[in-house]
Structure 1
Amino acid sequence: MLILILYFFIFIVVLQLFYYLIVFGKFAFAKAQKITPKKLPISVIVCAKNEEENVKKFIPLLAAQDYPDFEIILIDDASSDNTLEVFEEFEKMYPNITLVKVQNNEAFWGNKKYALTLGIKTAKKEYLLFTDADCYPTSKDWIATMSSQFTMQKTIVLGYGGYEKIAKSFLNKLIRFETVLTATQYFSWTKLGRPYMGVGRNMAYKKEEFFNVNGYINHIQVRTGDDDLFINEAATSKNTTVIYAPESFTYSKPKTTYKEWKNQKRRHLSTVTHYKKRDKFKMSLFFISQLLFFVVPGILLAYEFQWIIVLAIIFVRYAVVWTVVGCAAGKLKEKDLKFLFPIIEIVFIYFQINTFIANLISKPAHWK
């Protein structure tokens, strides 16, 4: 019986190495990208609900972008604070800002996808660039760098939306580790010709892609997923690419309590259930292999069965994974995470299980 468990453990590790070396290595070991600026017409779209303080700080950074042809579409999704008033002031200050005022209605009450649809239809430019109201670009070349990857064939561009660093905060490292791992996955699968998601904090696509799939209509009843569910439906090997040059990054403030982050992750996890079957399978298989890697060898070591071989396999797995994660984190300017990787990985897996169970018990809260 123990020998079968050993073989099963070897299979799990081989599966893990496949994911990290063959799949995630596609991004982790990729060369730096060549950036050739273009002068495509860009509409930057920002949807906000009760984000008064954030938009005061971040909209001027968008308006200050060094790009020849862009507009900013500001969408106020029926805010109850002073977000609308702030947006109205910005509309007066900047000639390239257009304000979209959304009123709640019975059919789409509190649905961000409805608000975004109104903004997209208002946009006058051919290419759309999305970020969230609590996000800001790392440089004045954000629009130029994101739009540089558009070609005649590549009409969807997936970027990286990171989180600010908070010194001496393990939660912050955990949040940033999850963000790096997620980005590594969707960048890698896209480079392999199997795009399945993107993040609304930083992504772009040609307007025609939105109308090709009738916007959000096929998942309008799902309160989340204006970013990943749209990409899951619209993205293909032919029309989607990635950008990971540092000038293309956006950042936002991370959650500061475990409860807040857990609620955020519960919303994201509930969206995954609506992915295509093949995408749910490849993500589930990866997570299960991670979980079993920590469970199965414990049985073998408890019985001291072939313990030298078991420890050697564990060492090889960690050496490979640590290298891949370290290279990916370096590309995304998150090098500090690799030093705590073994600990963060274990805590993160526990957190994923806890979040999954919580979603089975009750439904998560959604868009403000």
Structure 2
Amino acid sequence: MEIFLSKSGWQLVIFGLFCVICLIQLTYILRLFGKLAFYKTPSKEHMQQHPVSVIVCARDEAGNLTRNLPGILVQKYHSTNEVIVVNHNSQDETRFLLDEFKKTFKNLYAVNLENDAKGIPGKKYPLSIGIKEAKHEVLLLTDADCVPASEDWIEHMQNGYDNGTEIVIGYGAYFKRPGFLNKLIRFETFHAALQYMSYAIAGMPYMGVGRNLSYKKNLFLRNKGFSSTNHLPGGDDDLFINKVATNKNTSVVIHPDSFTLSEPKKSFGAWMRQKNRHFSTAKYYRPKHKFLLGTYTASQFLFYPLFITSLIVFDWRLALGVFALRFIAQGFIYYKAMKQLNEKDLWPLWWLFDIWMFLFYCIFAPALWKKPKATWN
């Protein structure tokens, strides 16, 4: 009590704000992110075997298709499945490569588009064509630069469907490579998944990632596809899911064999450009989601500045005690969640990456109001 009486009003305000921010962080960490950390896949007596249409959009992706398409085509899936590759006006060897693949894999179908759709940037147009051409109700989407983590990818993803389920959200991971940038990219990917998967498990789904996402064709057609966001370069995955997902029609699949893997960017600049495109769609989310995500981001952004200020102007022992509460809770939840997503090797550095997130928000915040560039991928 003497400590509080000895401090001036503004010092008490600073420490009080720090405590409030810490409480907000603990609420998100324990009440929300704990959903993913302790998630257990609902048990089923039998794996379901729905007919599945896998759709991949490609533009000048001959190299990636050579490396990754075989992993999709050799899936050990005992029910009917097809793989549709939409070749969107490629100028490389994509068309000839697909012709060669078709000689070996009879379930491969190539759709060659010669022109762009005027006023529809990005990959919404080729993806819409791929969905239109799909023979089956269950659609499984991934990218040309992705490869399934196992030959059971289709089976695990489609098994997420149950009565009333129309959307299944999967995890799109990155390959583990040497170097700090690789860990930085993978941590940001984990942190994003920690949020969108936890929200989905909690009954508040707001996005999925096109690297590993499944939904039903009828859901797409019933909601007129991407018509409301056709003018935006991005959002073929997160904005569509934000529009159509509910607490009753969405499930998540968390199993190492259900993941997809991609090669991460090799330079910080290339990664920044990629993230700027991704963040440019967040402004179009539903108000509820923007509020919840914004509150978490603001609390995370303010945490370290208020902690350092409290150490200096208030009693360092109390400030350190409040910090320790959040540190222990976050470290525990991150360990459990990273174990779920097969990213446990990142855990020894989680505290460093958490500090990095302060700079991350500073760097990428302008993307929230800048007009995105009309790039395809």
TM-score (norm 1): 0.96
- Tell me the equivalent position of 1:158: 169
What is the distance in 2 between the residues matched to 1:198 and 1:334? 19
State the partner residue of 1:57.
67
| Greater mean deviation of Cα atoms: 235-244 or 270-279 | 270-279
Question: Shift in Å at residue 360 of structure 1?
Answer: 5.2
Q: Equivalents in 2 of 1:2, 1:322: separation in Å?
A: 29
Partner residue of 1:141 out of 128, 131, 152: 152
Deviation at 1:31, TM superposition (A): 2.5
Between the aligned partners of 1:102 and 1:349, the Cα distance in structure 2 is 43
Cα displacement string for residues 252-279 of structure 1 (whole angstroms, at most 9, x for unaligned residues): 1001110000000000110111111111
* Residue 86 (structure 2) aligns with: 75
Letter in 2 for 1:135: C
Write the deviation string for residues 203-245 of structure 1: whole angstroms up to 9, x where unpaired: 1111111012100001111110111111001110110000001
Larger displacement relative to structure 2 (155-164 or 32-41): 32-41
Matched, 1:263 2:273: yes
Contact 2:149 2:261 in 1 (8 A): yes
Distance, in Å, in 2 between the alignment partners of 1:114 and 1:213 is: 16
What are the within-5 Å matches in structure 2 for residues 1-368 of structure 1? 1-34=10-43, 36-68=46-78, 69-105=80-116, 107-108=118-119, 110-167=121-178, 169-303=179-313, 305-357=314-366, 363-364=372-373, 366-368=375-377
Runs of 4+ aligned structure 1 residues displaced above 6 Å come to: none
Native 8 Å contact 1:197 1:228 kept in 2: yes
Report the Cα distance in structure 2 between the residues aligned to 1:362 and 1:185, rounded to whole angstroms: 25
- How many residue pairs get matched? 366
Q: What displacement does 1:351 show?
A: 2.1
Q: Does the CA contact (< 8 Å) of 2:279 and 2:367 recur in 1? A: no
User: 1:152 Cα deviation (Å)?
Assistant: 2.2
What CA deviation, in whole Å up to 9, does each residue of 1:111-166 have, x standing for no partner? 31011000000000111001110001111111111011111211110000100011
* Alignment CA distance shift 1:359-1:259 (3 Å): farther
SS in structure 2 at match of 1:308: helix
Contact 1:104 1:110 in 2 (8 A): no
C-alpha contact 1:33 1:245 (8 A) present in aligned 2: no
Which amino acid is the alignment partner of residue 90 of structure 1? F
Q: Which runs of 5+ in 2 are unaligned?
A: 1-9
Q: Which amino acid aligns with 2:331?
A: W
Distance 1:318 1:264 in 2: 30
Identity %: 40
In structure 2, C-alpha distance between the alignment counterparts of 1:220 and 1:307, rounded to whole Å: 53
Distance between the aligned counterparts of 2:42 and 2:257, measured in 1? 11
Is the 1:160–1:250 contact (alpha carbons within 8 Å) kept by the matching residues of 2?
Answer: yes
| Counterpart Cα distance in 1 of 2:109 and 2:220 | 20
Q: 1:206 to 1:341 in 2, by over 3 A?
A: same
Task: Give the superposition deviation at 1:54.
Answer: 1.0
- SS of residue paired to 2:294: helix
Q: Contact conserved, 2:145 with 2:262, CA < 8 A, in 1?
A: yes
**CA RMSD for the aligned pairs?**
1.5
1:58, 1:315 → 2: CA distance? Answer: 44
Q: Secondary structure at the match of 2:87?
A: strand
Quote how far apart the aligned CAs of 1:110 are: 4.6
Partners of 1:80 and 1:92 in 2: CA distance: 22
Shift, 1:352, TM fit: 2.5
TM-score under structure 2 normalisation?
0.94
Deviates more, 1:212-221 or 1:35-44: 35-44
Instruction: State the secondary structure of the residue aligned to 1:81.
Output: coil
Distance change >3 Å, CA 250–CA 123, structure 1 → 2: same
